[in-house]
Each structure stands twice: as C-alpha cells, then as structure tokens.
Amino acid sequence: MEQNVLRPRAASQSPLLPLVAATETHATSIGRRSWHLWLLRLLLLSGALYVALLVCWNASRLGLLDVDRGNNTKPKNSTPDSLMTAPNVPPTSSPEAPVEQLSAREMSIRAAMVIARAQEEEMQAKMTPSDKNEKKKVDARLRCRGWKATGDCDPDGTRLPNLDLPCGKPVPVDQSGYCELEDKDTGEVLQVAKRTCNSVRQDAKFRCLDAAEFVKFPTRANEVAKKASIPGFSLPHVVPLVEGVNNNMSGGQDGIVIVVYPRLLASAYATVRALREVLGCRLPIELWYRPDEMKSIRKSLTPLENLAAIVGGITFHKINGVRAFSYGAKVFAIYHSFLERILFLDADNVPIRDPSFLFESPEFIETGAVFWPDFWHPGNTIFNIHRQSLVWQFLGIPFADMFEQESGQLLIDRRRHTVPMEVLSFYAFHHPNLFDNFKLAHGDKDLFRFAWMHQNASFHMIQSPPAVAGKVIDGIFCGMTMVQHDAQGEVLFMHRNSRKLTGMPRQEQALVRSKAVARAREKLAARKAKNGRGRLTPKWSEVVAEIAAMTPHPTLKKTESDGYPDEAIWTHLLSFNRSAPRTDYTIEAYSVEPQFRDQHCYGQKHIGSNPSFNAQEIANLSFSGFETELRRFAMEAADQATRNART
C-alpha cells in the first residue's frame, strides 16, 4: 500500500532513475502543493471573516442583528442582563454553547443571504400595496390577441367580430373597440386602449402591437416620479430641496432660456437684442443649441456671439442628448439649465415689456409654474384633445376641461417642481414614443401641463385666451402672430409662429435654392476634374454661400418703405371679449389667395363676423413701433451671417 501511494508518475518511471530519487521529488512536490493549499485556505478564511464583519456591521446599522452570546434574539433597545443584576452580586456564569465551525464557502453564502434579506425587507417596507400592483403591471408578460371591434362608436358596444384585426394591422381611425391582451403568466385577459370613433387623430398610426407599452406607460411614469420623490433628489445644477430645512436657501438664479435653430438665428438675435436694448431686461440669458445642426451653416452663431460680447449676461450651451432634437431640445434645455427659475422663450417669441416682473408675480410665487393657453380647447381643437381622446387613458389621468397649452413661453421653478420635470423628461424621451406614434399630442406643447397634472402639482394657467396679430388686406384679416397676456390680461408676448423673421427679402426660395445647389455642384465637379478625386454632393454651408453670392432674386413682396426686408405684419390685433363664453372662442385656420400668398392664416377671416372678438389697430397701441425694431435687428443679423458665409 505504501509503495502504491508513493508511486511516481508514469513520466518518471525510467530504469535510469532510482526509486528513492523519485520518491524524494514527489514528496517535495506534495509539500509544495500542501503549502499552496494552506495559503489558499488562509486567504479564503480571511475573506470570509472580512465578509462576516461587513455583514454584521451593515446588519447592525439596519437594526436587524442584536443577538446575545446564546444566539437568542432580543429587542434592539432591551437592557443587557449584566446591567439588571443586583449591586455587588456577580452575575452567574452559564455554560457557553459550542461555536459552530463554518467553511469559507458557507460563510459567504450566509453573508449573501443576510444582505439579500435585509435589502428585500427594506424594499418591502417602502413598497405599498399599490406599488406592488404597479410593479406587477410592468413585469407582466403581455401577449397581444388583436383588435376587437365594436359598434355604435362605443368601446363597450356590440361586438363586431367581422371587423377584428390582427395585432400588426393598422386600425381605421374612425372605428371603435379595444385591444385585447393576455397575461402569459396568469392567463388574465385585458381590454386596453379603448376607443370611440374619434379617440385618435386622422393621421394616427394605431396598432394593437403597441398596446402592451400603452398599458404600462402610466406605471412607468409613476416609477419615475417615485424615484424623483426621494429626499435629496434634484435636477442638474439645482440645490436639492429638503422640506423644513432649506426651503428658502436655494441661491439659484432667475433667467431666460432660449433654444436656437439654424432657421431661427435672425429671430433669436432680434429677441435677445430687444430684451437688452429696447426693454432693458438684465436677466441672464442661456442660449442652447445642437452643434450638429449649427455645422450646416458656417459661423452661424457669430452674430449672437458678437452680441453677447457687447450686451453681456449671455451664455451658450450645447444640447448633446441623443433624442434631444426637434421639440425634445426644449425639454433638454429646461431640464439641464444652470438657472433655478426659468422663463423659457421660443426663439421667435418676444415680450413687449421687460418680463422680469413675472418671477415676483403672485401667481408664480404661489404655484411655482405659470403656463399659457393655446388657440384650441375641447370644443374646437385641431389636435384631437377632448373628453374622448385616447390620451387620458395613456396618461392615466382624468379628462381636464381646459384650454390646450401653448409652450412658446413657460415660467418654471425647477427646484420646486423637480418631480414634474422628471416626469416631463420621461414623457419627452421615452421610446418608443407613443405620443408621436398614436398622435396623442403635438410636439411638446401639452407635455408640460400633462406632467404637472400627473403629479397633481400646482400651476397657474393664464386665463386670457390668446389674441392674434396680423394684417388686413381688402377687408380680409390674416393672423400670423399669437399674442399672449399676463395675469391681468395685458399683452405681454408676441409669438411670430406663422411668419418668422429672416432678415432677408422673401424670395422664390425653391428656385434660388436649386440654382445655388447647381452652382455648388459645378464647382465641386471642376475641383474633382482638376485633382482627380473629391465629392460631388455639396454641403449645406456651400449652398448657403452660393445663395449669399447670388444676385437677389425677385421677391414675392416689395420691400417695405423703411427698407427692412421682412414684411411688416402687425397692423391689427384681434382679441377675445373676456366676458364672452368660451364656446364663442373659435379660431379659424385658413388660406387667402392672392392677398396672402403661400401663407397660413389664423383668426377670423372677416373682422366683425364674430361679435365676441374685438379688432384694434396696432398703430394706436403702446407697442406700435416695436415690430420695426425687430425687423431692423433681424436684418443686421442676416447681414452679419452673409458676410461670414462669404469669408
């Protein structure tokens, strides 16, 4: 037996090697392996002891461990036996229980179990029954069973099986019914996304394939809100709000936030310059932009940068969010602003008075958020937001009988409204975006009030419906600017959302652009023929340079008498009579040829046709010369941009 145990490996069984030498070599190998084995055991034991120490420390902090030497659990705050014995009487010693010897692996397993139980109990303690139900909704594995059609424009009406559709098939927008889902785990059948005949817009792409995300959306929003409600949570660049501790100790600034796009550079320049030079507003101004968009025009920000160097208090910030384009850029800028209380302005929206007073207004101090109404309300909407709209099911909130929101101006205390802002960010950037897919809302314009309503957060909606500024030709009115008011009903903002300032004559853009593209291609082709390599597709900056170098094309409208290229469009103001019922507030959308060629008009086509609206000549109002200043500023911005493009 001894020889069998100590027999050398086959590789060493050679007649040239004595058996004793092989045995010594093997013994040395065993000793070396034994030393490594003990070292490994020592390291494992040390690690286990360290883990046990951490577990005990964490568990004691959580109040989960308070055991005596006999391993019997006692209340955390109970008095030790040693302190309850009579004076001068030594405590009776009892035999100690034998200590269980555990391997390193067993100690690691037990340590992990203790930590897992502690974390689970902590989460369970914070999770209410409603939280548990919502978690089940998110975790549920839902299988689409298709569209189930009903009659009488009622989702609960008579079933029409012959009109049922598979999950991937688009559902006609005028059909009532619901999507049927099945929970794979429980077998429960759900009826979701219940629709009447007018629950979605005409251009909506509605399929039951998206119904699972539809039903989970309110729960996901609730989860976002719950995380943002944790004490100490804050938006970027904002001091966290701790109730009862630092309510009035923010140290944050008030200021204006504007997002700049290439086609609104002249408008942004005019707005900023008017704020500083005409209105005397000294509020800090943040200008946010997407670098990839600005690359399309060489030195596009130069006019604004030059202006910032002169008037001061203006900073530039990049928008780098992957999904923060189009209306998402606005949400990104407000969310990441370095200001605490912000007045957001669309780049083509300009106040006619210094707006600084808004931060001290009673409405803002009381609620921390002031919003403005749109032209549209449930009785007259082009965005299909009314009592039967699908959007209310999607959001998980009740129908609100109020004006839709116009987000060209927003007044928000970011510190006070951290949770609604977090929900807003989720609304804007969730994917897939069912707001867009189902056409439940238009861009960002209603997302702000929706987020605040979701949290039942306070906000003040300005009560005066928007007025319309425009022009009258041959007795026909064409509104091209939305006019918003302050809380007292006085005109405050002029939003040129239908006719932007460009600082250039209004030309036959399609013809000019095609000629510029052709000229840019000719130059690239000549360069390629000369160098033997190169591209043939011009960059947009090269096209812009060609447009700037071209002889001005005949304009659609003659230049105004003052010589500024943008047409003056503020001649009349159409306002709603405050004493009239909301049902009489009807804004029409129309076109008028040839008086207003290629122009979308809003308001009342024939002034006086609706007695609930009053018309005034802007020449008789306090801001009569304001548009002229804006047109001049826009022209100067365009001139600078043209010079930059040429160089």
Query: Is 179 in contact with 192 (CB distance < 8 Å)?
Result: yes
Residue 597 lies in a domain: yes
Residue 119 lies in a domain: no
Q: Is pLDDT above 50 for 78?
A: no
Query: For the domain that residue 371 is a member of, what is the CATH number?
Result: 3.90.550.10
Residue 13 lies in a domain: no
One DSSP character per residue, 71-100 reads: --B--TTPPPGGGTSPTT-PPPP-PPPPPP
Which of 371, 423, 448 lies closest to 233, judged by CA?
423
Same domain, yes or no: 386 and 472: no
Which of 576, 575, 562 lies closest to 628, judged by CA?
562
Q: Is pLDDT above 60 for 4?
A: no
Q: Is pLDDT above 50 for 511?
A: yes
Give the pLDDT of residue 300.
Answer: 82
**Mean pLDDT calculated for residue range 411-434:** 95
pLDDT tens track for 132-144: 555 555 557 899 9
My answer on whether omega of the bond before 87 falls inside 30° of 0, hence cis, is no
- pLDDT bucket at 116, cuts 50 / 70 / 90: very low
d(CA 372, CA 495) in angstroms, rounded, equals: 12
pLDDT tens track for 348-358: 999 999 999 99
Q: What percent of the chain has pLDDT over 70?
A: 73
Which residue, of 430, 463, 496, is where some domain finishes? 463
Same domain, yes or no: 471 and 425: no
Helices 328-336 + 418-429 axis angle, to 10: 150
**Mean pLDDT calculated for residue range 506-512:** 59
Q: Is pLDDT above 60 for 96?
A: no
Residue 258 lies in a domain: yes
Same domain, yes or no: 380 and 491: no
My answer on whether omega of the bond before 594 falls inside 30° of 0, hence cis, is yes
d(CA 119, CA 603) in angstroms, rounded, equals: 60
- pLDDT bucket at 536, cuts 50 / 70 / 90: confident
Q: Given strand 176-183, what is the order of strands in its sheet?
A: 142-150, 176-183, 189-195
The DSSP code for 555 is B
Residue 540 lies in a domain: no
- pLDDT bucket at 5, cuts 50 / 70 / 90: very low
**129 against 359, higher pLDDT:** 359
Give the pLDDT of residue 243.
Answer: 60
Angle formed at CA 114 by CA 111 and CA 116, multiple of 5 degrees: 105
Would you call 44 exposed, middle or buried from its count of C-beta atoms within 10 A (0-12, 13-18, 19+)?
middle
Tokens representing 476 are 């026909």
Give the pLDDT of residue 31.
Answer: 53
- φ, ψ dihedrals at 109, nearest 5°: -65, -45
Residue 571 lies in a domain: yes
- pLDDT bucket at 93, cuts 50 / 70 / 90: very low
Same domain, yes or no: 329 and 404: yes
Residue type, 601: C
The owner of tokens 């060489």 is 298
Helix count and strand count (H, E) for the chain: 17, 18
Inter-CA distances, 536 with 285, 524, 546, 550, 647, Å: 41, 6, 15, 20, 22
Residue 212 lies in a domain: yes
Residue 167 lies in a domain: yes
Which residue, of 432, 463, 494, is where some domain finishes? 463
Per DSSP (E only), the strands in 159-310 are 176-183, 189-195, 254-259, 285-289
SS3 360: helix
Same domain, yes or no: 402 and 436: yes
d(CA 582, CA 477) in angstroms, rounded, equals: 22
- pLDDT bucket at 76, cuts 50 / 70 / 90: very low
Same domain, yes or no: 305 and 387: yes
Give the pLDDT of residue 102.
Answer: 53
Which residue, of 406, 433, 463, is where some domain finishes? 463
Give the pLDDT of residue 641.
Answer: 85
- pLDDT bucket at 68, cuts 50 / 70 / 90: very low
pLDDT tens track for 583-626: 999 999 999 988 898 899 999 999 888 999 999 999 999 999 99
Give the pLDDT of residue 42.
Answer: 73
Same domain, yes or no: 448 and 481: no
**270 against 11, higher pLDDT:** 270
d(CA 11, CA 14) in angstroms, rounded, equals: 8
Same domain, yes or no: 598 and 615: yes
Q: What percent of the chain has pLDDT over 90?
A: 57
Give the pLDDT of residue 483.
Answer: 98
pLDDT tens track for 220-248: 999 999 999 988 888 999 887 666 555 55
Same domain, yes or no: 339 and 398: yes
- pLDDT bucket at 432, cuts 50 / 70 / 90: confident
**Mean pLDDT calculated for residue range 29-35:** 53
- pLDDT bucket at 547, cuts 50 / 70 / 90: confident
d(CA 588, CA 567) in angstroms, rounded, equals: 23
Q: Which residues of 433-449 are buried (b: 16+ CB within 10 A; e: fewer)?
A: ebbeebbbbbebbbbbb
- pLDDT bucket at 459, cuts 50 / 70 / 90: very high
**Listed ranges 128-132, 379-383, 526-530, 640-644; the one with the highest mean pLDDT:** 379-383
The owner of tokens 């210094």 is 354
- pLDDT bucket at 264, cuts 50 / 70 / 90: very high
Inter-CA distances, 49 with 13, 44, 62, 108, Å: 45, 9, 20, 9
Q: Which domain holds residue 276?
A: 250-463
Give the pLDDT of residue 230.
Answer: 87
- pLDDT bucket at 15, cuts 50 / 70 / 90: very low
Give the pLDDT of residue 603.
Answer: 95
Angle formed at CA 389 by CA 383 and CA 392, multiple of 5 degrees: 115
Inter-CA distances, 23 with 14, 172, 352, Å: 13, 89, 102
Give the pLDDT of residue 8.
Answer: 38
Query: Is 337 in contact with 418 (CB distance < 8 Å)?
Result: no
Same domain, yes or no: 303 and 433: yes
- pLDDT bucket at 363, cuts 50 / 70 / 90: very high
Give the pLDDT of residue 57.
Answer: 54
Angle formed at CA 441 by CA 221 and CA 406, multiple of 5 degrees: 105
Same domain, yes or no: 478 and 593: yes
Give the pLDDT of residue 486.
Answer: 98
The average confidence (pLDDT) of the chain is 82
Query: Is 385 in contact with 404 (CB distance < 8 Å)?
Result: yes
Q: Is pLDDT above 60 for 70?
A: no
Same domain, yes or no: 295 and 404: yes
Query: Is 317 in contact with 333 (CB distance < 8 Å)?
Result: yes
The total number of structural domains in the chain stands at: 3
Helices (H), 322-480: 328-336, 362-367, 391-395, 418-429, 434-437, 447-454
